[in-house]
Amino acid sequence: MKAVGFVMLLAGWLLVLAAIVLFTSPALRTAFILAGIAVEALGMILAFRSHHIPREEKG
Amino acid sequence: MPETKFSEATTIACLFFIFLVPLAAAGISIMNVGLGRSRSAGHMMMASLCALAVAGLAYFVCGFAWQGYIGSPAHSLTFSGKSWNWIGAEPFLFRNLSFDGSAVSLAALFQIFCVGFAALIPLGSGADRWRLRASCLCAGLLACCTYPLFAHWVWGGGWLAQLGANYGIGRGFLDAGGASSIQVLGGLTALAVTWILGPRRGKYSADGMAPAIPGHNSVLVLFGCVLALVGWIGINSAGAILFTGAEASGSALVAINTLLAASASALTAAFITKIRFGKPDASLTANGWVGGLVASSASCAFVSPAEAVVIGSIAGTVITFSIEWLELRMEVDDPGGAISVHAVGGIWGLLALSVFGQYQRPVMNVAGEALPAALIGIAPGQWLAQLIGVATLLGFVLPLTYGLNRLLNRFYPFRVSVEGERQGMDLHELGAGAYPEFVTHGDEFLPR
């Protein structure tokens, strides 16, 4: 789960890079950059959730 | 090596501002000391000093070579006919650098202080449980790897700075005072370190409660805020001159914006905590103050004083709630509040630039030349350039710094032993407490 979160962060960033390189249309480029950032947001959520402390380790 | 040289007056002003920068590091160091426990106070100060030393040396050895400066030699990749400048190609050990007042020599001096400052930021998050040698290794990694790489992209004429010239996205990623390369980078390293270390013993109980572990000296924390302000004026003013081509005469605006953003942020934090808890909270107000300084960094040279107040107020609100959210909901134990203050505050500052930024004067392009006057006052797509910068911080810098530190943790465990944590970092790692005269001897209370 931890690894998936970080892979999604990287994947989102690569999507942003690809959008900059591949698209010349500003609208399409913006849409793909925003999509990449959405993937990163999901990755952040996963990364945070995977670092929750298990109940038995608390205290 | 570019031959860019400022006028004598600008060089003197720039040097003056650069010499203020260590005060920001001093301020953050004593804030971290005050926000931690008394039994780890000496250890925290020692770790700060060691982090500054290690970061400075690592940056001297290879950091500056990989960061470079606008127009310096660099490695580039070519995609679709566009050059992607991704890492500096200077010789190691400052060998090609002549200290003759050139812009590049001033940038090297500025950066060697800034990299030490960035390396201090994670110490607040790892307080009371991070081993001294591990924190030094982390500072070395930051100074020779993550910082130079990202700072090259932003301040060394790298691909983020070139977004405007290559792809017409605004003026490229803009950051006058290091909100991204110093603050967010340091804050994300703090998040990675906090995840790796885990919370302090006793911070989270099995029934879901998270008792507050208050800092031991609020006077140190609040005095650190004042020191940080002076240092921040230096960082923002020197950064604006070196990396956005601002005139030294514009430093008054930069300093005013820095102070106003910090003031608005601190008062907002004090007001929110007064409303919520009945009394203003000193540590959250201090965090609000520093958060305002952080949020002012990116846009200090591009906004009016009134806009700086708005940026600071929003920073104070966001940071106050972010600290609580991270601690209670996300179970991230960050004693110094470094993640919220530096990462969240810095990201807000970077985005605020695209909302409030006015470009009344030319900004330097990637070759160090002023952009045409026709571009003054307009920046279509600047918000997208800023978003791309933030996406790079979260999508590249965070996984990179987490991966490198996790690898380091495998070979040299970051966390102190249970016994060491119970004893306190001062006694366990340094062999002496910071406040030996404060020791309470049990036999003093025995009936005689």
pLDDT digit string, tens, across residues B77-93: 998 888 899 999 999 99
Q: Could you tell me how far CA B20 lies from the centroid of its own chain?
A: 15
CA atoms within 13 A on the CB side of B384: 25
What average pLDDT does this structure show over B282-298?
97
Chain B, nearest residue to A47 by Cα: B195
A52 CB neighbours in chain B (<8 A) are 330-331
pLDDT at B363: 53
pLDDT at B5: 83
Please check whether residue A25 touches B, CB under 8 A: no
Q: Is residue B367 pLDDT above 60, yes or no? A: no
Q: For B6-15, write each residue's pLDDT tens digit.
A: 899 999 999 9
The whole-angstrom separation of Cα B150 and Cα B159 is 10
Number of structural domains chain A divides into: 1
Q: Cα distance from B21 to chain A (closest Cα, Å)? A: 32
Please check whether residue A51 touches B, CB under 8 A: yes
pLDDT at B365: 47
Q: Is residue B348 pLDDT above 90, yes or no? A: yes
Please, which pLDDT band fits residue B371 given cuts at 50, 70 and 90?
A: low
Please check whether residue A12 touches B, CB under 8 A: yes
Residues near B378 by beta carbon (within 8 Å), at least 6 away in sequence? B359
Domain that holds residue A38: 2-52
Does residue A47 belong to any structural domain of this protein? yes
What average pLDDT does this structure show over B315-330?
96
Q: Cα distance from A13 to chain B (closest Cα, Å)? A: 5
The domains found in chain B, sorted by start residue, are 8-79+100-440 (1.10.3430.10)
Does residue A10 belong to any structural domain of this protein? yes
Please check whether residue B371 touches A, CB under 8 A: no
* DSSP-assigned letter for residue B444: G
A37 CB neighbours in chain B (<8 A) are 387, 390-391
The whole-angstrom separation of Cα B246 and Cα B228 is 22
Which among B405, B325, B291, B342 is positioned nearest to B121, based on CA atoms? B342
B415 CB neighbours in chain A (<8 A) are none
pLDDT at B4: 74
Please check whether residue A53 touches B, CB under 8 A: yes
- By the 8 A CB rule, do B248 and B14 touch? yes
What average pLDDT does this structure show over B195-204?
92
Q: For B54-64, write each residue's pLDDT tens digit.
A: 999 999 999 99
| Confidence check on the interface: ipTM exceeds 0.90, yes or no | yes
Q: For B18-32, write each residue's pLDDT tens digit.
A: 999 999 999 999 999
Q: Could you tell me how far CA A12 lies from the centroid of its own chain?
A: 4
Q: Which two tokens stand for residue B13?
A: 């002003």
Residues near B357 by beta carbon (within 8 Å), at least 6 away in sequence? B174, B299, B302, B303, B379, B382
Q: Is residue A55 pLDDT above 70, yes or no? A: no
Please, which pLDDT band fits residue B386 given cuts at 50, 70 and 90?
A: very high
pLDDT at B49: 98
- By the 8 A CB rule, do B379 and B363 touch? no
Residues near B1 by beta carbon (within 8 Å), at least 6 away in sequence? B72, B73, B96, B97, B98, B102, B104
Q: Is residue B135 pLDDT above 50, yes or no? A: yes
Does residue A20 belong to any structural domain of this protein? yes
